[in-house]
Structure 1
Amino acid sequence: MTRTALSALAVMALLSAQLPMAARVQAQDTGFGSGSGSAPGSGSLFGSAPLGAPTDAGLDGEAEDGVDPLGREDGVSAQGRAGTRGTISEIGPGAGEEPQALATTGRAEPVQPFSERLRAVQRRSALAGGGRIANTAYAGDTTRDEPRGMRVGSFLLYPELFTGLGWSDNRAGDANGDSGATYRIAPSLRVQSDWSRHSLGINFRGSYTGYPDSGLEADPNVSSDALLRLEVGERSEIDISGSYGLSMQDRGTAESAGGDQEIHTLGGGLALRRDLGLVGAELRGEVDATYYQGAGGAAANRDRDNALFTATLRVDGNTGATVTPFAEASLLARRYMDACDNLALCEDRDSSGYGLRAGLAFDNGGKISGDIAVGWRSETLDDARLARLEGMTVDGSLVWSPTRLTTVTALANTSFAPSSLAGTPGSVAYSGDLRLAHGFSDALSGEVGVGYTWRDYTGLVLTEQEARATTALTWALTSNVALQGRYTFRRFISSNAGSSYNSNTIEAGLRFRH
């Protein structure tokens, strides 16, 4: 594990240890923007109703017991909007989080917390009028120990620490893995500004999984992002975003022939959104870089290091209707850090391309919201010997609140990944999942989820599939401590002989937060 990751996890653990010393505060009630997070008041920029606006009968955002959790007589937050205890709106805005597929071909990658997943999914349709379900949808977590936060100047900090023990029948996550004990330390921190106009959100989630009595290297995992939203007049907003991620490459995938690899991702973006009346427009530029570093004595795959540059124009309908259309057009260019100077010895994998998408966003005002889009994406590589990396795209998200204590979220996603394998420009992966959370009481909540990913390498007879199922329970012991348990089944199937495997993992531990 790198020193950077160890230092970050240590700092987070120290912050979480200070939980009892913090003053009780409340997160802002806010909507969800589209593209890179949300800010107070920004949910209605392109036609969505303010979060305090009335919704369906019986789902009006009031606490079930009629008492505001902070003791406010009028039940109105600092931003002037009502919020229901334990709902999405009460957990605060996101910081540019992206929804993560449940079935991801990454080693020892923790399941994305349900509340974070909801923030990420919910904001996707807000530009086209969504976001009102945030007042009523259950956030998927216990409310007895709901995060209250620490105020530091004009910021609210929400630290959290999980420590747990587990057992797996395939600790290595490959065809030859053995069974044995595991342990995991997972600090996280969410920071949200409490400003009257602009907004800054920061989200950090780390994990360190160790394997005692084993020669396996520990598996680090980091997911972090930040979003600064600036309001420019009444009709325009500017988003400045950044992200960093660390994960371990799955040992079963064909890309892992060079040994264990740490995958580092760095991202940055700048977006301008403007309300043009009947339509809303967004112009967005993004840079996403990926670096590979050898772990456990393996050499770094420097020939895979690359950066993707993307420019996107998005136009949304701004009618305030239940269903509104949107369309996107993108230009992209991929550049590798190590250029190919001799085509007789290597392949020039630099590329340029485009992406087109059109879809619908929907929100019925309190029960269900989401979006669905189809399109086409193509990358043409500079090396004419390699085929285009292209395919149809299908992307969508859903938040459904059938009852006040039950929330269902679904995700469909298409992703493109370059490759260093000879004869292929890369792979196209289609993934989908379904997750459900239910609150049995203020101290007990449960979750179940299933997911599937299918990856195909262009130009090769090579496919990889992953199926994952998980179930979890959280029992709040006190206002700061909860007992958590999770079982996860994973099935990895590769057309490459000898690479398929199964794994069953069970884990239990304590979560501390304030």
Structure 2
Amino acid sequence: MDIGKDKAGHGALRLTAWATSAVLGWGIAFAAPLPAQAQSLSPDQSLDDTLPAPTTSAAPADAATGPLTDTQTGAPVNQASPASQGSGGSDTPPNMRLRLDGVDPTTTGSTLDDDLRRVNLPETTVDGLRTRQYPDRADVQGIPLGTFTLRPSVNQSINLERDRTGSVEDNRTFLQTDLRSTLTSDWDRHALTVTGEGVWQRNISGTGEEKPTISLDADLRLDLPADTIAHITAGYQFYREDTSDPNAIAGASKQSAVNQFTTGLSLERDFGLLRGTTALALTRTVYSDAELSDGTQVTLSDRDQTAGTWRGRIGYELSPAIIPFVEVNLGRAVYDQTRDSNGYARSNQSYGGKGGVEFDLGEKFKGELGFGYQHTEFDDSRLASVDSPTIDGNLAWSPQRGTDVSIGLSTTVQPSTTPGLSGYSAYQLTSTVSHQLRDDLTAKLTGGTIWRDYPSSGSAADETEYDAAFGLTWGINRYLDLTSNVGYQLTTRKEGDDTRQLQAGVGLTVKR
């Protein structure tokens, strides 16, 4: 009797162990597909949406999709790595222990686990807006060239221009080619950036003047010891003087072409709460002959000059976001010819200073603003000195994602070519608003004004220039953009005729 009872007890024990093993096996079989199911979550789903209800059985993953694998190793991602199996506290792999907010409570795990966590994170947003829905329309990656990246673009457009000064009107239709390229380094230390831009125009009808431009700039940043940064710069610029420029030749069919060469060196040093900057810059300017309507050449070599400036700035860090500063500058311009064609010695020297504040509130709001005074006097005693208060600054503001606002203020002293007139102060305001209407459509509005203030003792009258333009860019794909723009310029003069210019065009940009 006892033997029978023992056999029955052993049979019941074996039956219980078999049932327990079966239950555990089915549980593991149903639980294993969960990582693959979590991998396929959409940005609008949470992990709770895929977990089985407490009163129902979990459904197996779709067999058609199969287990996910790592793109580099080929290993299934729904299998726990040896490192995760050895972690204490739970037999569940780390890639299944996700919090509902998308953050893994553990701080350890393999690279594979990190990749899986990144996939399962909800879609990131900025200011409540989702990220780009079309990643193929993002900025192009450029062309790798060793440790450099080249980003070229070409825009071909057809344009209409209406230019009117008093009763004289010039209308033209022209083709314009805009070339732009940026070469940037990818070094652990230091950085080199080379930027080139060029505009070529060809009239297909009308009598307006073609206005080609070329600009090349290079900036080598050196990260030196003791919190010191050095910049070595060089550049070249070519442009043709505009007919609305005060120094342009009246009645010329082709204005002078200007070649400008620049180079500079600056040092920036952080002394704790103090920030110091010193900089030297040299500019060489060469003018070609202008051509009158009857073919006569007007030599302008008496305007060729070499100018050098030095500036020094010291700032005090009240906080990382606010740094007041003071700045002084000295300058000297020497003309190739001691006297110009009218017998005036126009070489000059200048000095000035300003005080202001730098502010940096992050990517949303940064810039600087300064007020000062500038004095310029000429070698010829017959030319009056130019004294002017100055205001300079810049502002970059992004009120929301997809909207960027930039504002610039500058004050410069420009020499004159008019007999008996030394020069004038130019106060310039520029502004740009760029807004992303859609993921593939961007609108840009630009505006500005220049006030040319002549000395009261001179014979020239003040004038003001107003500019406004609007453009649209449609990103067809990451390599092709359709552009359109319309702009208007008005120059008003206290004495003389006003100038009005209207321009509109449409073009296509190819970029890489």
Match of 1:207 in 2: 199
* 2:505 is the counterpart of 1:507: yes
* 2:372 is the counterpart of 1:375: yes
Residue 173 of structure 1 contacts residue 251 of structure 1 at CA under 8 Å; is this kept in 2? no
Q: Which of 1 and 2 has greater Rg?
A: 2
Residue 136 of structure 2 contacts residue 477 of structure 2 at CA under 8 Å; is this kept in 1? no
- Within the candidate set 354, 371, 386, 2:383 is matched to 386
Alignment map for 1:157-236 (pairs within 5 Å):
157-170=150-163, 176-236=168-228
Alignment map for 1:174-323 (pairs within 5 Å):
176-257=168-249, 259=252, 260-296=255-291, 298-323=297-322
Match of 2:349 in 1: 352
Match of 1:25 in 2: none
* 2:438 is the counterpart of 1:434: no
CA distance in 1, matches of 2:177, 2:333: 36
**For residues 202-225 of structure 1, what are the alpha-carbon distances to aligned partners after superposition, in whole Å with 9 as ceiling and x for unaligned?**
111111122213344422112221
CA distance in 1, matches of 2:391, 2:380: 28
Deviates more, 1:390-399 or 1:288-297: 288-297
**For residues 284-307 of structure 1, what are the alpha-carbon distances to aligned partners after superposition, in whole Å with 9 as ceiling and x for unaligned?**
111122221125554331111122
* 2:464 is the counterpart of 1:465: yes
Deviates more, 1:479-488 or 1:411-420: 411-420
**For residues 49-92 of structure 1, what are the alpha-carbon distances to aligned partners after superposition, in whole Å with 9 as ceiling and x for unaligned?**
xxxxxxxxxxxxxxxxxxxxxxx9999xxxxxxxx99x9xxxxx
CA distance in 1, matches of 2:165, 2:218: 31
Shift of residue 253, structure 1, vs aligned partner: 3.1
**For residues 375-400 of structure 1, what are the alpha-carbon distances to aligned partners after superposition, in whole Å with 9 as ceiling and x for unaligned?**
11111111111111221110111111
Residue 143 of structure 1 contacts residue 443 of structure 1 at CA under 8 Å; is this kept in 2? no
Match of 1:324 in 2: 323
Counterpart code for 2:476:
L
Residues 389, 455 of structure 1: alpha-carbon distance in 2 compared, 3 angstrom cutoff: same
Residue 281 of structure 1 contacts residue 314 of structure 1 at CA under 8 Å; is this kept in 2? yes
Shift of residue 330, structure 1, vs aligned partner: 1.0
Shift of residue 317, structure 1, vs aligned partner: 2.0
Residue 188 of structure 1 contacts residue 204 of structure 1 at CA under 8 Å; is this kept in 2? yes
The gaps in structure 1 that reach 5 residues or longer are 1-71, 76-83, 88-135
Shift of residue 509, structure 1, vs aligned partner: 0.5
TM-score of the aligned structures, taking structure 2 as reference length:
0.69
Residue 467 of structure 1 contacts residue 491 of structure 1 at CA under 8 Å; is this kept in 2? yes
CA distance in 1, matches of 2:197, 2:136: 21
Residues 268, 143 of structure 1: alpha-carbon distance in 2 compared, 3 angstrom cutoff: farther
Counterpart code for 1:513:
K
**2:280 match: secondary structure:** strand
Residues 429, 392 of structure 1: alpha-carbon distance in 2 compared, 3 angstrom cutoff: same
CA distance in 1, matches of 2:389, 2:117: 50
Shift of residue 421, structure 1, vs aligned partner: 1.0
Counterpart code for 1:311:
W
**1:197 match: secondary structure:** coil
Match of 1:447 in 2: 444
Shift of residue 373, structure 1, vs aligned partner: 0.3
Residue 462 of structure 1 contacts residue 494 of structure 1 at CA under 8 Å; is this kept in 2? yes
CA distance in 1, matches of 2:256, 2:289: 5
Match of 2:398 in 1: 401
CA distance in 1, matches of 2:236, 2:463: 26
* 2:484 is the counterpart of 1:485: yes
The gaps in structure 2 that reach 5 residues or longer are 1-114, 119-123
Match of 1:96 in 2: none
**1:229 match: secondary structure:** strand
Match of 1:147 in 2: 140
Residues 461, 512 of structure 1: alpha-carbon distance in 2 compared, 3 angstrom cutoff: same
Match of 1:123 in 2: none
CA distance in 2, matches of 1:202, 1:158: 11
**2:249 match: secondary structure:** helix
Alignment map for 1:41-52 (pairs within 5 Å):
none
Residue 209 of structure 1 contacts residue 219 of structure 1 at CA under 8 Å; is this kept in 2? yes
CA distance in 2, matches of 1:178, 1:381: 38
Residue 304 of structure 1 contacts residue 419 of structure 1 at CA under 8 Å; is this kept in 2? no
Residues 156, 175 of structure 1: alpha-carbon distance in 2 compared, 3 angstrom cutoff: farther
CA distance in 2, matches of 1:290, 1:331: 19
**1:219 match: secondary structure:** coil
Shift of residue 261, structure 1, vs aligned partner: 1.1
CA distance in 2, matches of 1:479, 1:174: 45
Residue 386 of structure 1 contacts residue 423 of structure 1 at CA under 8 Å; is this kept in 2? yes
Counterpart code for 2:485:
R
**1:254 match: secondary structure:** coil
CA RMSD of aligned residues (A): 2.6
Shift of residue 228, structure 1, vs aligned partner: 0.7
Count of residues in correspondence between the two structures:
378
Identity of aligned residues (%): 26
CA distance in 1, matches of 2:493, 2:117: 58
TM-score of the aligned structures, taking structure 1 as reference length:
0.69
Deviates more, 1:178-187 or 1:258-267: 258-267
Residues 350, 295 of structure 1: alpha-carbon distance in 2 compared, 3 angstrom cutoff: closer
CA distance in 2, matches of 1:240, 1:395: 23
**2:393 match: secondary structure:** strand
Residues 194, 304 of structure 1: alpha-carbon distance in 2 compared, 3 angstrom cutoff: same
**1:482 match: secondary structure:** strand
- Within the candidate set 359, 363, 382, 1:362 is matched to 359
Residues 295, 351 of structure 1: alpha-carbon distance in 2 compared, 3 angstrom cutoff: closer
